Chains A and B, each alone.
Chain A
């Protein structure tokens, strides 16, 4: 367990020293979300209708941008190979790296989402549903994304490829995440959506690190 904590600590420290990387994908999120009212129409009713979808799509894209950082730097300086050789199981190392990635990319999006919700004219309860769904959904994005990041580590044009691999797999999270807000807006209960998001989170927590560890071994063999 100590290696888990120390890798999280190390990745957080690295992220802190390269603050601009994490901040850029956060600003990317803010800018993409702000472009939609400009592109569509600033009608409050239209904006409220599309707020959850826009925020979710922007969160998907922002996570995708930050995924390149997950293994790339460690691959370049050889740390990743040391992690493969470590006595601790690789999937454990992977979970700690993914957790640190979520803390620096997913969690800031969740914390920022109420502000973006206000821009789209959402009420307090609606914002709570949206941010709650993002809180459950963004770790799934980091977990599934780690498989794609591991498969494309060290490849030319890896980032474009990563989008092709990962975005189709993000569809269930997008559907259920955005649908939670839709259900709330039409007066239905949001429990089933949150339950499914939770189920997706548990399933990806169990399976994704194994697939990522396998993919890392293949990429670095």
Chain B
């Protein structure tokens, strides 16, 4: 049995064309799923009897919040792989993912504020989830500014990788500290935990949108990693 060479596509040279072939498919899947998901969200899912129509922003908000956390984990995974195997592509992937993750974090906060105003009567509460999402945005900004400030790209990748790993160790600590802080300082003005049972169509709409965001994130990361390869290793990009 021939051993599979797992590292074949870890070289930018062989990954560049692969990324180019995969990217349109992920983009198309993302568009298709968004259209279906938004149709379900706006026309099929029933109106919520408590929140009215304003609840429909959760079809963007919840998937964006999921992606914001998941992308940080994937980014840290790439960062760790880059430090362990010393592969150039891993650092590029981590940096290609970061802007998308930061964008979803911001989107989750923004849509959360838009949802909070009609529902809770306030744009912002110092709820544990909101606060830790805000801190996640700070962590993304730290990663982006550190990698942007270092001119040597390899050093930037590796320094960013250390920061991403330190961040990933800290995320659970930060989350629990914020939960504790929240329970100490204010009564549970808002509880997201006891969410009422969702209608099936609402759940389907949300899952479709989550899948659409997944596909979008992959497509965006592939596109961005191709740009990074072109910028840093024009030869790898030119030969194909």
Q: Which residues of A contact B (CB under 8 A)?
A: 147, 151-152, 155-158, 161, 164-165, 167-169, 171-172, 175-176, 179, 182-183, 200, 207, 211, 214-215, 218-219, 221
From B41-49, B165-173, B200-208, B216-224, the one touching the partner chain is B165-173
Cβ-based interface call for B181 (8 A): yes
Instruction: Give 5 CB contacts A-B under 8 Å.
Output: A151-B146, A165-B142, A171-B178, A175-B181, A221-B155
Chain B residue total in the interface (Cβ 8 A): 28
Q: Give Cα A164–Cα B138 distance, bound, in whole angstroms.
A: 7
Measured in the bound complex, the distance between the Cα atoms of B167 and A219 in whole Å is 18
CA distance A119 to B184 in the complex (A): 25
Find the B residue at minimum CB distance from A178.
Answer: B181
Contact A172 B145 (CB under 8 A): no
**Given the contacts A169-B167, A171-B178, A215 and B145 also touching, CB distance less than 8 Å:** no
Question: Would you list which residues of chain B between 99 and 142 have a CB under 8 Å from chain A?
Answer: 135, 138-139, 141-142
Q: A147-B162, A179-B180 are in contact. List 9 more A-B contacts (CB 8 A).
A: A151-B163, A152-B146, A157-B149, A164-B145, A164-B146, A179-B184, A183-B184, A211-B162, A215-B162
Q: Are B159 and A161 in contact (CB under 8 A)?
A: no
Contact, CB under 8 Å: A172 / B169:
no
Which A residues are CB-close (under 8 A) to B180? 175-176, 179
Are A155 and B150 neighbours in the complex by a CB distance under 8 Å? yes
A168 partner, pick from B139, B149, B162, beta carbons under 8 A:
B139
Q: Flag if A218 contacts B155 (CB, 8 Å).
A: yes
A84 → B minimal CB distance (Å): 15
Measured between C-beta atoms, what is the minimum distance from B99 to chain A in Å? 16
Q: List chain B residues, Cβ under 8 A from A156.
A: 149
Query: Cβ of B56 < 8 Å from any Cβ of A?
Result: no
Q: How would you classify the secondary structure of chain A's contact residues: helix, strand, loop or mixed?
A: helix
Q: Which residues of A have CB within 8 Å of B155?
A: 218-219, 221
Contact of B173 among A157, A167, A172, A218 (CB under 8 A): A172
Query: How many pairs of A and B residues are in contact by the CB < 8 Å rule?
Result: 74
In the bound complex, what is the Cα–Cα distance between A200 and B181 (angstroms)? 16
Given contacts A155-B150, A171-B178, contact A147 B141 (CB under 8 A): no
Task: List the A side residues contacting B139 at CB < 8 Å.
Answer: 168
Give complex CA distance A89, B185 in Å.
44
- Which residue of B is nearest A169, CB measured? B170
In whole angstroms, what is the CA distance A164 to B143 when docked?
Answer: 9
The reply to whether A164 and B141 form a contact with Cβ atoms under 8 Å apart is: yes
Residues of A within 8 A of B178 (CB): 171, 175
Select which of B150, B166, B184 is within 8 A of A147 by beta carbon: B166
Contact A168 B184 (CB under 8 A): no
B142 contacts A168, C-beta separation under 8 Å? yes
User: Which of B158, B159, B163, B165 has its CB near the most chain A CB atoms (within 10 A)?
Assistant: B159
B228 on interface, CB distance cutoff 8 Å: no
- In the bound complex, residues from chain B placing their C-beta under 8 Å from that of A215 are 159, 162
B74 to chain A, nearest CB (A): 19
Most buried by B among A158, A164, A175, A182: A175
Chain A residue contacts of B150, Cβ below 8 A: 155
Q: Which of chain B's residues have a CB closer than 8 A to the CB of A169?
A: 166-167, 170, 174
Query: B14 within 8 Å of A by Cβ?
Result: no
Cα distance, A205 to B158, chains bound together (Å): 22
Does B177 reach chain A (CB closer than 8 Å)?
yes
Which of chain B's residues have a CB closer than 8 A to the CB of A176? 177, 180
Q: Please report the C-alpha to C-alpha distance between residue A171 and residue B162 in the assembled complex, in whole angstroms.
A: 19
Q: A164 to B169, alpha carbons, bound, how many Å?
A: 17
